Structure 1
Amino acid sequence: MIGIAMTTSTADSSPSTPIASTPAARAPALPAVRHSWIDNLQGQLFGVVMIAFGMSMLHSLGLIIGQIAGVAFLVTYATGISFGMAFTIINLPFYLLAALRMGAAFTWRTLAAVTAVSVLTNVAGNYISYSHLDPAVGAVLAGLCVGIGLIGLFRHQASCGGMSILATYVQERTGFKAGWLLMGFDLALFATAALFLPMDRVFYSLVGAITMNLFVAWNHRYEWYIAR
């Protein structure tokens, strides 16, 4: 291995004096960085659009996704009410947790994000149609879109409601990865979905949910991200 530590060989230097040759040793400490309001706004908008785009793919295939959105999809398929309405109603109790644990600003940002995702998912069919979308490909693409959208919200001090509020709180307080907690919830959700949906749709939905959760678990790490 090269560059961990080196010693000088000149006569006027002590052989025991280390030379810091790694970038980490030479680089100065990075200063704390804070997002401006425009930084947070663009990040939150990106997250909302990517999540809604992923939801529209899932809806077109008759699939579900993990977390509270998956519950909203099941309610939609069972009752015929819009996804946006179901998603909004189911999220209501979680705003209290957000207000008590995460603060008013986080709660308002989450409320705005949930509302925007609900509206955009409902109207996406007016602007995007999928004449052919393979269920396996659609599930993976939707999982990636929703996953990167959630990270966009998390990194800019918001969430998409529901279990992501709880997962974000637990990760910030304990270090337990948000993705793993969400995956546990999803296992229970998909066990329930198997009672109501055809098994092929449950399988493809599970592929999308696993893709999303693994993406979040591997990429949303608090220690990797400097700006606050």
Structure 2
Amino acid sequence: MTVILLRHGRSTSNTAHTLAGRSEGVDLDDKGREQAEAVVARIGELPVKAIVRSPLLRCERTVAPVAAALTLDPVVDERLTEVDYGTWTGRKIGELLKEPLWAVVQQQPSAAVFPEGEGLAAVQSRAVAAVREHDRRLAEEHGADVLWIACTHGDVIKSILADALGSHLDSFQRITADPASMSVVRYSSMRPFVLHVNHTGPALTTALAAPPEPSGDAVVGGTTD
């Protein structure tokens, strides 16, 4: 099963340098709408079988063009929604830089819990569970490997990628997920394979080469006699 983790296009909050969180009505700006339209060509002829998205408006707008092109009805999953930033929601990023919690978010995100909101560890738990569950559901429905899109938010994508890379959540700030970027993870019975991170190019096809099959003489530890 292969999932394309699509971050929503640039939003009005991105350009205003505020932390949108789960604020209602945060839409794409003009650039974000262009990015959403461009997703259609970037996906091209890839055999995408399903689209799952965050319930927030900016994700709805981002997947609308590609959903129409593929004649798919997106599934809404609350577990892919943005982080609940609590009382930080809507505040200017410049102000938040002065908060003691900001350093924790940057240096030890696994310990970060937003005031009256949720912790980043909880975000990773719900998001990874959602991706794994949709993988199983789609495999059962189609009886074969399936390529699908999950449209969500930057910190959510970074937490899923950290898990797929086998990295501690405290390393997730080393990962970048720009607006309208695509990151690709193939889940196998053995382990996840991260095929691409933060793809912003014109076509995604080259990012989907299959990982090499393990050779017959491979042994635990990566050495041979």
TM-score by length of 1: 0.31
Relative to total residues, which structure has the larger strand share, 1 or 2? 2
Larger radius of gyration: 1
* Structure with the bigger percentage of helix: 1
